[in-house]
Structure 1
Amino acid sequence: MLLVLHRTYFPEGTQGILQFNGATICNTIELPWLHNARQVSCIPEGIYVLKKRFSKKFGWHLHLVDVPGRQYILIHPANDAKKELLGCIAPVTYHIGIGKGSYSRKAFKKLTDLVFPMLDKTMVVHLLITST
């Protein structure tokens, strides 16, 4: 399974559209590109393996494996990249500003409803991050 995240970069944040087989699953928000600096930048473009992960803070969520120079880059709900993200990716239903979105939990559920069954069947799920 291959998910594709098409990004657009702005100085204040990064907007994205997450797709599977050409169909949009949801929008995304991230921190701006600041050369992969930890906790203040989005991660580099590339292809990553997604794993299912549990934490007390986020419950079940997605973890991007082997991100260069980074650890624990996750996909989890958030509506404001600068206030709620440290390099992670947040699915959102709507973009309401640069690095800001709405109805993140709804978008996250839509994404996990698609991806978790594949991961539960031990299928490999990749995320390709590219710019528009």
Structure 2
Amino acid sequence: MVLVLHRTYFPEGTQGILEWNGDLICYTIELPWLDKQKRISCVPEGEYILQKRFSKKFGWHLHLVNVPGRDYILIHPANDAKKELLGCIAPVTTHTGIGKGNYSRKAFSKVKDLVYPVLSDNQVVKILITTKS
């Protein structure tokens, strides 16, 4: 399974559309592109393996494995990239501004409902991050 994240970059943040098999799953928000700097930039474009991960802060969420020069890049709920993200990706139901969205927990539930059963079957799930064309 390969999810595709199509991004649009702005100086204030990054907007995305997350799809699977050409169907919209949800929208995404991220920090702006600042040359892969830790904790202040969105992750570089590329293809990454996703794994389930648990933490006290986020509960069950997703982890992008082997992001060059970065650790613990996650997919987790957040509605304001600059206030709630440190380089991670947040699913949102709609974009409400650059790097902002709403109903993130609802959008993240859609992602989990799609991805977790595949991961539970020990299949590989990847995310391909590209620029929207």
* Structure 1 moving runs of 4+ over 2 Å: none
> Structure 2 CA distance, aligned partners of 1:121 and 1:57?
26
Specify the SS of the correspondent of 2:128.
strand
> Structure 2 CA distance, aligned partners of 1:106 and 1:126?
21
Specify the SS of the correspondent of 2:29.
strand
Residue of structure 2 equivalent to 1:9 = 9
Gaps of 5+ in 2: none
2:105 maps to 1:105:
yes
RMSD: 0.3
Percent of aligned positions that are identical: 74
Gaps of 5+ in 1: none
Residue of structure 1 equivalent to 2:118 = 118
2:90 maps to 1:90:
yes
The number of residue pairs the alignment matches comes to 132
| TM-score (normalizing by structure 1) | 1.00
Q: What do residues 72-128 of structure 1 show as CA deviations (whole Å, max 9, x unaligned)?
A: 000000000000000000000000000000000000000000000000111000100
CA displacement at 1:34 relative to structure 2: 0.1
Residue of structure 2 equivalent to 1:32 = 32
